[in-house]
């Protein structure tokens, strides 16, 4: 009976798809794009499951017809998708709802919702189907869930920005990658890791270091378990970005490790005069002959000959991570696809590669023998392209930078930040260092840049970007207007430190009183310009003025600092104008010895903790 109902639902779905194809779209559907990011096959191979993060849906595509036959509403901003070992359950990680939707693959209905940490990005079951693991980007950990009871049984401390999980073919280990680098010493190369979880003991057993890497995405392992591949970014943030014409902005690369190689080897996929910005999705063919890599900024899929890659890697006696001529030894094809390609999926026989085009609302199908797109599946998104949508595509497209090296989204990963500080302008090495701030909910926080040098976003994204970043002609007036429209539309992610009823905890109330105080504990008036609530006033906690708060460095051109806006400040470490404070605590315990950045030296440790607890709620 259940299967008959599902077959009827498919027939109805096909009819609906035909109607929608004729243009019968409602106004609300026209305004909400889908943004497909990840995919999986149904157990019988007839259907393609596609996560659409902006629509809060799992869409089911009939592979024979290419029609969307089912739309399943899940939690807010779904990003991860996997199936149970027996194929009976579909797990969807809802990043803004902090939970996992469990869908019955027979009825295609949500049957229960499981808890997770802050912003789960992916979720995957162990081989026995008894335990589910979820990587939580904002709480920097991995939730371990007992599927029988539906309860979280432990939390494993991962690296910063834990995001993407992959189970090894033998089921022994789960690899976790991280979108943000671990917090380290000021002005040192970024460090990331691959966190390795033993599924038998449910413990972290290794942290594979990724040196000079910030921004790590999908990880895949060959079926024989001897080769693992990770998509990653190697930023050149310690030297002036003016060196972009010399190839020193980002290296788009892979990290390979396993029995097939000695240690962890960094493998560039760029070319001498052409770059493939933001590698993200990965797939390895079953016979291990090819590796497929999506590049969001270049809208391509790179095809690598695995044996040629391994032979070249073994022949090198020193690192070739920055050798832009290396890729010619193992890259065999570059396949153009839709805008901002993300997840990839190989058909069971390996003859087709499915590519989720996030900003195209399509899935491209590549013939892996001919290395060309032979079909594009329309997922049913709006056909009217608004200015904001055009701006979003510009934000993620690297074609404007010199030789296509990077886009806005290279530093503002997923329209947020990258956890790095940058040496941007051609004013000498190590001068005017810039902390990469979050760009959520920017409207009304002008001016921009840490010293307030850019009066509006048009200046920030227009002539300044063209002159100091891209080193080439960039946006025309219409494109710039669209880009600004998109950036100003980026919403704040949910704040997990606020109570659901909007009230504050006792500690947060005490911290609020400290934030708003006008007298020291000794009863001495605090000058207005040194009161927290004066500088950080207004709806976004900035009065949009410049102050000398004593945290300037000898290498800064001016001691005056733009007052930062504070919403969601808890998520965007490091801090201060140059990123020299590794935590909120360090702003006052390390960089405020003379009470020039608010009066904090009369506070006890507990009182400072209360102040920070309040700041986290903003």
| Mean pLDDT calculated for residue range 220-242 | 94
Q: Is residue 102 part of a domain?
A: no
pLDDT band at 508 (very low <50, low <70, confident <90, very high): very high
| 405 vs 178: CA distance, rounded Å | 22
CATH for 594: 1.10.760.10
Rounded to 5°, angle at Cα 182 from 599 and 487: 75
| Mean pLDDT calculated for residue range 473-485 | 92
- List the single range of 103-112, 123-132, 365-374, 461-470 with lowest mean pLDDT: 461-470
Strand blocks (E) in 521-570: 546-547, 561-562
pLDDT band at 465 (very low <50, low <70, confident <90, very high): confident
User: Is residue 464 domain-shared with residue 547, that is, in the same domain?
Assistant: no
- Residue 2: the pLDDT is 39
- Number of domains observed in the structure of the chain: 2
More confidently predicted of 529 and 430: 529
- Residue 311: the pLDDT is 97
- Give the DSSP letter of residue 307: H
User: Is residue 478 domain-shared with residue 564, that is, in the same domain?
Assistant: no
| Mean pLDDT calculated for residue range 322-341 | 97
Domain boundary among 433, 462, 489: 489
- Residue 31: the pLDDT is 65
User: Is residue 443 domain-shared with residue 473, that is, in the same domain?
Assistant: yes
pLDDT band at 588 (very low <50, low <70, confident <90, very high): very high
pLDDT band at 240 (very low <50, low <70, confident <90, very high): confident
User: Is residue 551 domain-shared with residue 585, that is, in the same domain?
Assistant: yes
What rounded mean pLDDT belongs to the chain?
92
| 451 vs 563: CA distance, rounded Å | 9
User: Is residue 549 domain-shared with residue 465, that is, in the same domain?
Assistant: no
User: Is residue 575 domain-shared with residue 510, that is, in the same domain?
Assistant: yes
Is it the case that residue 23 has pLDDT exceeding 70? no
| Mean pLDDT calculated for residue range 490-513 | 94
Q: Is residue 2 part of a domain?
A: no
- Residue 460: the pLDDT is 86
Q: Distances in Å between the alpha carbon of 248 and those of 236, 251, 268, 402? A: 6, 8, 13, 11
User: Is residue 485 domain-shared with residue 523, that is, in the same domain?
Assistant: no
Q: Is residue 212 part of a domain?
A: no
Q: Is residue 568 part of a domain?
A: yes
User: Is residue 453 domain-shared with residue 546, that is, in the same domain?
Assistant: no
| 377 vs 29: CA distance, rounded Å | 18
User: Is residue 485 domain-shared with residue 539, that is, in the same domain?
Assistant: no
Q: What is the pLDDT of residues 136-171, one digit of tens each?
A: 999 999 999 999 999 999 999 999 999 999 999 999
Q: Is residue 458 part of a domain?
A: yes
| Mean pLDDT calculated for residue range 24-30 | 38
Half-sphere exposure of 11 (CA within 13 A, CB side): 6
Pick the closest to residue 306 from 243, 197, 222 (CA basis): 222
- Give the DSSP letter of residue 76: S
Q: Is residue 231 part of a domain?
A: no
Q: Distances in Å between the alpha carbon of 96 and those of 43, 78, 140, 152, 266? A: 28, 8, 15, 18, 33
User: Is residue 470 domain-shared with residue 515, that is, in the same domain?
Assistant: no
User: Is residue 485 domain-shared with residue 430, that is, in the same domain?
Assistant: yes
Q: Is residue 572 part of a domain?
A: yes
User: Is residue 602 domain-shared with residue 521, that is, in the same domain?
Assistant: yes
Pick the closest to residue 339 from 350, 355, 326 (CA basis): 355
Per DSSP, the chain holds a count of helices (H) and strands (E) of 12, 32
For residue 395, how many other CB atoms are within 10 A of its CB? 21
Q: Is residue 547 part of a domain?
A: yes
For residue 562, what are the domain limits? 506-615
The strand pairing partners of 562, in sequence order, are 546
For residue 536, how many other CB atoms are within 10 A of its CB? 20
| Mean pLDDT calculated for residue range 129-135 | 98
Look up the pTM and report it. Answer: 0.92
């Amino acid at each position: 009976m259940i299967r008959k109902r599902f077959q009827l639902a498919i027939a109805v779905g096909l009819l609906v798809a035909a109607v929608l194809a004729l243009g019968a779209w409602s106004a609300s559907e026209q305004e909400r794009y889908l943004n497909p990011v990840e995919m999986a096959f149904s157990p019988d191979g007839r259907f393609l499951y596609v996560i659409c993060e902006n629509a809060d849906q799992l869409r089911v595509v009939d592979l024979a017809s290419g029609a969307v036959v089912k739309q399943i509403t899940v939690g807010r901003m779904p990003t991860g998708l996997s199936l149970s070992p027996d194929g009976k359950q579909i797990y969807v990680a809802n990043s803004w709802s902090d939970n996992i939707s469990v869908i019955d693959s027979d009825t295609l209905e949500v049957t229960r919702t499981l808890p997770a940490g802050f912003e789960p990005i992916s979720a995957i079951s162990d081989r026995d189907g008894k335990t589910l693991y979820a990587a939580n980007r904002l709480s920097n950990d991995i939730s371990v869930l007992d599927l029988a009871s539906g309860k979280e049984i432990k939390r494993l401390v991962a690296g910063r920005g834990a995001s993407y999980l992959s189970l090894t073919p033998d089921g022994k280990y789960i690899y976790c990658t991280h979108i943000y680098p671990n917090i380290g010493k000021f002005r040192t190369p970024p460090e990331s890791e691959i966190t390795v979880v033993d599924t038998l003991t449910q413990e972290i057993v290794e942290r594979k270091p990724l040196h000079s890497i910030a921004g790590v995405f999908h990880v895949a392992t060959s079926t024989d378990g001897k080769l693992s591949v990770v998509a990653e970014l190697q930023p050149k943030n310690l030297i002036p970005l003016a060196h972009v014409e010399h190839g020193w902005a980002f290296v788009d690369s892979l990290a390979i490790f396993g029995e097939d190689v000695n240690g962890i080897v960094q493998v560039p996929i760029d070319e001498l005069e052409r770059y493939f910005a933001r590698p993200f999705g990965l797939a390895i063919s079953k016979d291990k002959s090819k590796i497929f890599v999506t590049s969001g900024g270049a809208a391509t899929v790179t095809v690598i000959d695995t044996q040629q890659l391994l032979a070249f890697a073994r022949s090198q006696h020193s690192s070739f991570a920055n050798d832009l001529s290396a890729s010619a030894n193992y890259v065999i094809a570059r396949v153009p696809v839709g805008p901002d390609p993300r997840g990839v999926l190989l058909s069971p026989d390996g003859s087709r590669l499915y590519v989720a085009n996030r900003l195209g609302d399509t899935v491209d199908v590549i013939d892996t023998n001919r290395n060309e797109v032979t079909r594009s599946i329309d997922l049913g998104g709006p056909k009217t392209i608004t200015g904001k949508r055009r701006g979003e595509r510009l934000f993620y497209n690297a074609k404007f930078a010199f030789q296509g090296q990077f886009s806005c989204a290279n530093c503002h990963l997923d329209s947020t930040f990258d956890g790095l500080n940058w040496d941007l302008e051609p004013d000498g090495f190590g001068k005017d260092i810039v902390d990469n701030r979050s760009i959520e909910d920017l409207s009304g926080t002008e001016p921009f840049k840490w010293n307030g040098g850019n009066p509006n976003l048009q200046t920030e994204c227009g002539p300044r970007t063209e002159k100091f970043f891209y080193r080439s002609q960039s946006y025309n007036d219409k494109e710039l207007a669209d880009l600004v429209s998109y950036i100003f539309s980026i919403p704040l992610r949910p704040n997990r430190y606020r109570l659901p009823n909007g009230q504050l905890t006792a500690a947060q109330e005490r911290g609020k009183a400290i934030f708003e105080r006008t007298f020291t504990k000794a009863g001495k008036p605090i000058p207005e310009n040194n009161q927290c609530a004066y500088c950080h006033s207004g709806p976004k906690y900035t009065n949009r003025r410049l102050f000398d708060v004593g945290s300037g460095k000898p290498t800064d051109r001016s001691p005056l600092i733009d007052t930062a806006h504070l919403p969601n400040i808890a998520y965007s470490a490091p801090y201060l104008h140059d990123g020299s404070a590794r935590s909120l605590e360090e702003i006052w315990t390390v960089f405020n010895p003379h009470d020039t950045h608010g009066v904090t030296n009369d506070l006890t440790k507990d009182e400072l903790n209360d102040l920070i607890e309040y700041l986290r709620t903003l």
